[in-house]
Amino acid sequence: MQAADVWGSRWSSTAHPLSHRFMEAAVEKQTLVVLAADLETTAELVQLINQVGPHIAALKTHVDMVEDYSKEAWRDVVEAAHRHGLLLFEDRKFADIGRVSQTQMGGVYDIRSWADIVTAHRVSGPDIVDGIAAGWDDVQRIGGIFLLAQMSSRGNLLTESYTDETISTGASSPHVMGYIGNGSSPDEVSSLREKVGEGKMIWTPGVNLSAEEGILGQRYGHPSDAIKAGSDAVIVGSGIHKSDDPVAAAKAYADATWSALKTR
Ligand code: 5BU
């Protein structure tokens, strides 16, 4: 199966090379699942990656939630992800001015040296995008940014006009791979897709096969609905890592998203 055929206009309209890498991995493994690996030790992270690696297309991390972080221990996580052909996506949600964001790409965690993708808020202004890109430039790497156009948590302050400004910033930057959309609401995802057009990715958290209310304000929708509404990947955390059988869970999310993509 060719990625270009499966993804159609998304493949042909997308410029960012990492978007093509993601779409190829998704077709190879037949999954549109990005694992939100929200675990607190590097050993647990490596174990989970080795378990579910064949059923996911990218790995999303929160490096600052890891209790035993060290450069060496983190290298094990990165190497495990690479063995499974996963892009590394640090959900850092940068939000400062451009110059500071550039510096924060380095620092203790040195995100610029291992992350292929990061998230950023648009709240401080459009220059955050160039600041983050300059961070990768400092280590002669190229990465992709996802701007938060929507969020899955209830009561968030990302209004319609904020979403529009965010899309217009992303549209004019080659560094922006795409947008985070609210996976708990198919209506919001399809409205976002309408505004974004075909040329950028939309990845959606707030997805769970048992779509009950999450804890502490998280909201959930069904993975197939998110994909059919125009999302290109579902970001799944607890649905997989809190499951009694993470491998079976990852496979179930993979199957749901893959068949939804084929009917889209
Ligand atoms: P969950 O366990 O599937 O609810 O985890 C969701 C993950 O997605 C978690 O790592 C969050 O940081 C991340 N997330 C989110 O839930 N909602 C958002 O709007 C954004 C990120 Br942006």
Q: How does pLDDT run across 108-163, given as a tens digit for each residue?
A: 999 999 999 999 999 999 999 999 999 999 999 999 999 999 999 999 999 999 99
> What atom of ligand 1 comes closest to residue 182's alpha carbon?
19
> What atom of ligand 1 comes closest to residue 220's alpha carbon?
4
Ligand 1 pocket, Cβ-based, cut-off 6 angstroms: 36, 38, 91, 119, 148, 151-153, 180, 205-206, 214, 218, 235-239
Number of Cβ atoms within 10 Å of the Cβ of 208: 23
Catalytic residue flag (residue 93): yes
pLDDT at 212: 75
pLDDT at 191: 98
User: Residue 118's beta-bridge partner residues?
Assistant: 90, 145
264 or 259: which leads in pLDDT: 259
DSSP tally for the chain: helices H, then strands E: 13, 8
pLDDT at 72: 98
> What atom of ligand 1 comes closest to residue 208's alpha carbon?
3
Q: In angstroms, what is the span from residue 214 Cα to ligand 1's centroid?
A: 11
Q: In angstroms, what is the span from residue 223 Cα to ligand 1's centroid?
A: 14
Count of domains observed in the chain: 1
**pTM as predicted:** 0.98
> Is pLDDT at 1 greater than 90 in this prediction?
no
pLDDT tens digit string along 60-103?
Answer: 999 999 999 999 999 999 999 999 999 999 999 999 999 999 99
Q: Cα–Cα distance between 225 and 215 in angstroms, integer?
A: 21
Q: Cα–Cα distance between 168 and 164 in angstroms, integer?
A: 6
Q: Give mean pLDDT, residues 219-235.
A: 98
- Residue ranges making up the domain that contains 75: 3-263
Q: Give mean pLDDT, residues 45-60.
A: 98
Token pair listed for 210: 């048992």
> Is pLDDT at 53 greater than 80 in this prediction?
yes
Task: Give the three-class secondary structure for 155.
Answer: coil
Pick from 179, 218, 219, 242 the residue to mutate for probing ligand 1's pocket: most ligand atoms within 8 Å of its CB: 218
Catalytic choice (29, 60, 71, 93): 93
Q: In angstroms, what is the span from residue 203 Cα to ligand 1's centroid?
A: 11
Q: Give mean pLDDT, residues 198-224.
A: 93
Q: Cα–Cα distance between 107 and 105 in angstroms, integer?
A: 7
pLDDT at 97: 98
Q: Answer yes or no: are the C-beta atoms of 258 and 31 closer than 8 Å.
A: yes
Q: Cα–Cα distance between 28 and 22 in angstroms, integer?
A: 10
Residue nearest to atom 15 of ligand 1 (CA): 205
Q: Give mean pLDDT, residues 236-240.
A: 97
pLDDT tens digit string along 3-38?
Answer: 999 999 999 999 999 999 999 999 999 999 999 999
Length, in residues, of the chain: 264
> What atom of ligand 1 comes closest to residue 151's alpha carbon?
19
> Is pLDDT at 213 greater than 90 in this prediction?
no
Residue nearest to atom 19 of ligand 1 (CA): 151
Q: Cα–Cα distance between 39 and 116 in angstroms, integer?
A: 20
Domain of 13, CATH number, reads 3.20.20.70
Sign of the torsion angle spanned by Cα atoms 209, 213, 215, 220:
positive
